[in-house]
Structure 1
Amino acid sequence: MAPRKGAAANKSGSKGVPKKRVAANGFKLPEPIAPGVIITDVAKKQWRIGHSIGVGGFGEIYLASCEIDKPVSNSADYVIKVEPHRNGPLFAEMHCYMRIARPEHIETWKKERKLKRLGMPKYLGSGSFEYNKERYRFMVMERFGRDLQKILEQHSKRFSFKTVYQVGIQILDVLEYIHSKEYIHADIKASNLLIGYKPGTENQVFLVDFGLACRYANDGKHKEYKYDQRKAHDGTIEFTSRDAHIGAHSRRGDLEILGYNMTQWLCARLPWEDNLQDCNDVFAKKRGFMENISSFISLCFPDTEPPGLNEYLEYVVSLAFDEKPDYEKCRNILREGLKARGYRDDGKLVFMSATPVLPSKKSKARTDRKVSKRKSEESDTVSNEESEEIEEPLRNRKVAKKRAKISIGNLEKKEGSPVEKENKAKANLKARGRGKRKDKIAVGAAISVPYSGIVNPTPQMLALMKKNVVI
């Protein structure tokens, strides 16, 4: 079956010859592969290709199934990454997965450390095949959900404090596993962090895209610290570690990259993002700020410093180039940070907006909320998808508020009660004052909303009503 011909092919002026697809980084993209094609991996297992679900910097990702006798459904549990043989990035990633991501290795690690989950993708198969006289390389993986970058953009480019630290703890788990295999990831960022797709993995983040992963040691011997022009500034420039800026590879570099990510997720922008085209300038600024972390934190968070972030970065900076990090110490720093803000490490990911969102006209009045210092820094507004995941403190506050309204309402309705008598007296006073209120409105005086028109008053509003205060 011939590949699809896009509109670009018709505009090129060559009849019947589709225009070659090229990624932004210059790599040739594979020609579209028709759903239904069956390929065989190196272990002789067959896979059926479904429709495309995404295009990357060097290849394309398709849904896949091991049930080759029927079409691949939209709910397929697997995906296949495909790239032309001449490219290369998938070749490096594939061999990295083969060494460190075999399912049995991951499960053994989880059992030894008593982990309920680990966001390390599993290698399920790989190989090569020919399609329309073109040779392609492929790798089979689990299917994942949305990436954090898309979620981040839906929340004003900032995550809540709990979300950031909870994700950080999960990534530290993955880094400890990867580093135990003598590899570093080198490109941690929101677009490479995916939420689980299968039921039960909704609160799990997976670190994907090992295209820049490389060995920092060989058989226990750490590589030396030296400049390598070929790999200098590798990675995503705003997060690249100081070691990676000179082409050196280290475990502390991965922890530093994670620190930059957490900082950006909390404050939305890093100090060196104004000049990302100049790699040396970015490198110089990172060195300067990491030599004075307090000034870095103060610049990023002029109002309130996130508890634990300074301590985490100070620890990363204190590590020697070839030193093994204390991963549990790093996790505990973040856990203590959560505790300082009234949260706990419950493993739940609640993607809340960190930027205050104005309530709609139909929403309940929120002027009565006496928000604590912690809550004033991050909005409690949550998307419909995550509304069931709201933290316990917020839920308790809403329950208490509801009970208060019920108790006050019952007291007011009770005939002969002091409150009921007081309300009747207020009603008479209000009736006599209506004419004056209408006159004020008629001449353009400031209009106040009478409390009788409030559908769902809060306990604080009811208290004001008893004092005959117009609100």
Structure 2
Amino acid sequence: MAPRRKSGLPKPLPDGFILTDTERKKWRLGQIIGHGGFGLIYLASQDVGRPVAADTDFVIKVEYHENGPLFSELKFYQRAAKPENMQTWMRTRNLNFLGIPTYWGSGLAEYNNLRYRFMAMDRLGSDLQKICNRNGGRLKKATVLQLGQELVDVLEYIHENEYVHADIKAANLMLGYREPEKVYLADYGLSYRYCPDGDHKEYRENPKKGHNGTIEYTSLDAHKGVAPSRRGDLQILGFCLLHWLCGSLPWDSVLQNPAQVQEAKARWVSCTNIMQLVAWFSRGIHWIGKALQVLKVLGYCCSAVLHCMLQYKK
């Protein structure tokens, strides 16, 4: 069980502070380069005898010890994303790349009577959302195709290892620091172990927990308060692909009303007639071409998604 969350960002640790992880490896902190809702991200190095270089290949996430998101992310990496396991899985599928960041170590620290949890990771570059913003929210069809194929691989791997991501979106897709042509699905703070030790969690709707997640992409199950699932991950991916290809979503105008978003998604998902789809969106004749592109791209890069959806029960 994750620790009880402590509100707010942690007080910063000093530049040059030395951390020791659970395997007794030492890490030196550099400058802060970012933050999330509850944690800070520092440049880091294993060369503790000198200041951390600006072009280091490592970062360390730091949160208060009491917080849950980093604890959840850490458990995901320790259970499901060991580098040797990922390499074995890639070999069995003849893959040269799997877009999951590398975990290097973790531990606890104390400073000025405050307790911290930390996790060392590969340094990553910019996020995909910034690229979308520079391009009016859209990406090229070839880029969407490639992203869809690579994300299907990532989801297949984490699903086989009893986890779902539950928060797929452009802001959580990071470019490689040294190789920006590679894209990684990051931020597993909301990841969920749907099948611990082979025992699949029960499908149960709970209206009190409805509409959780990033509202634009929340799965229909999540709108109903169902716990995160493989099917939910795949549906979230489908909504992301639609957004990246078209630059907008049919429910953009009602994002302040989760129930209306849920209704719009349900109508879109259930629609099988392209002309009805375009008429319902009221986007005009130019939307016919875009809608056809969506179907084509989804057909190419989500064939594996559709195959999985036929197999997954929930």
Q: How does 1:64-463 map to 2 (within 5 A)?
A: 64-198=44-178, 201-229=179-207, 231-245=209-223, 246-293=225-272, 294=274, 295-296=276-277, 299=281, 302-304=287-289, 305-306=292-293, 307-309=295-297, 311=299, 312=302, 316=306, 319=309, 322-323=312-313
Report the CA distance shift for 1:165/1:146 in structure 2 as closer, same or farther (over 3 A). same
Maintained 8 Å contact 2:126/2:174 = yes
Q: Which amino acid aligns with 2:151?
A: I
Q: Quote the offset at 1:173 in angstroms.
A: 0.9
Maintained 8 Å contact 2:45/2:52 = yes
Return the alpha-carbon distance in structure 1 between the equivalents of residues 74 and 175 of structure 2: 21
Structure 2 alignment gaps of length 5 or more: none
Q: How many residues align?
A: 298
Q: Deviations over 1:344-378 (max 9, x none)?
A: xxxxxxxxxxxxxxxxxxxxxxxxxxxxxxxxxxx
Structure 1 alignment gaps of length 5 or more: 1-24, 325-471
Q: Deviations over 1:301-358 (max 9, x none)?
A: 614121524645997499368449xxxxxxxxxxxxxxxxxxxxxxxxxxxxxxxxxx
Q: Quote the offset at 1:202 in angstroms.
A: 2.7
Q: Quote the offset at 1:223 in angstroms.
A: 2.1
Maintained 8 Å contact 2:109/2:117 = yes
Q: TM-score, normalised on structure 1?
A: 0.59
Secondary structure of 1:145's counterpart equals: strand
Structure in which a larger fraction of residues adopt strand = 2
Report the CA distance shift for 1:76/1:314 in structure 2 as closer, same or farther (over 3 A). closer
Report the CA distance shift for 1:278/1:313 in structure 2 as closer, same or farther (over 3 A). farther
Identical amino acids, percent of aligned pairs: 46
Return the alpha-carbon distance in structure 1 between the equivalents of residues 145 and 7 of structure 2: 36
Report the CA distance shift for 1:45/1:310 in structure 2 as closer, same or farther (over 3 A). closer
Q: Which amino acid aligns with 1:286?
A: K
Q: Which amino acid aligns with 2:158?
A: I
Maintained 8 Å contact 1:192/1:209 = yes
Report the CA distance shift for 1:96/1:31 in structure 2 as closer, same or farther (over 3 A). same
Q: CA RMSD in A?
A: 2.5
Maintained 8 Å contact 1:225/1:321 = no
Q: Quote the offset at 1:150 in angstroms.
A: 0.7
Return the alpha-carbon distance in structure 1 between the equivalents of residues 6 and 226 of structure 2: 22
Maintained 8 Å contact 1:252/1:316 = no
Return the alpha-carbon distance in structure 1 between the equivalents of residues 246 and 188 of structure 2: 27
Secondary structure of 2:287's counterpart equals: coil
Q: Which amino acid aligns with 1:148?
A: L
Maintained 8 Å contact 1:27/1:58 = yes
Q: Deviations over 1:420-447 (max 9, x none)?
A: xxxxxxxxxxxxxxxxxxxxxxxxxxxx
Maintained 8 Å contact 2:6/2:66 = no
Maintained 8 Å contact 1:256/1:316 = no
Q: How does 1:19-34 map to 2 (within 5 A)?
A: 27-34=7-14
Q: Quote the offset at 1:140 in angstroms.
A: 0.7
Q: Quote the offset at 1:123 in angstroms.
A: 1.6
Secondary structure of 2:60's counterpart equals: strand
Q: Which residue of 2 aligns with 1:343?
A: none
Q: TM-score, normalised on structure 2?
A: 0.87
Q: Which residue of 2 aligns with 1:355?
A: none
Report the CA distance shift for 1:205/1:237 in structure 2 as closer, same or farther (over 3 A). same
Q: Deviations over 1:272-309 (max 9, x none)?
A: 12222322221122112211143446737614121524
Say which is worse superposed, 61-70 or 293-302, in terms of deviation: 293-302
Return the alpha-carbon distance in structure 2 between the equivalents of residues 173 and 310 of structure 1: 15
Maintained 8 Å contact 2:278/2:288 = no
Higher alpha-carbon Rg = 1
Secondary structure of 1:222's counterpart equals: coil
Maintained 8 Å contact 1:223/1:249 = no
Return the alpha-carbon distance in structure 2 between the equivalents of residues 319 and 84 of structure 1: 38
Maintained 8 Å contact 1:130/1:136 = yes
Q: Which amino acid aligns with 2:263?
A: A
Matched, 1:58 2:38: yes
Q: Quote the offset at 1:111 in angstroms.
A: 1.7
Report the CA distance shift for 1:147/1:28 in structure 2 as closer, same or farther (over 3 A). same
Maintained 8 Å contact 1:259/1:313 = no
Q: Which amino acid aligns with 1:266?
A: L
Secondary structure of 2:159's counterpart equals: helix
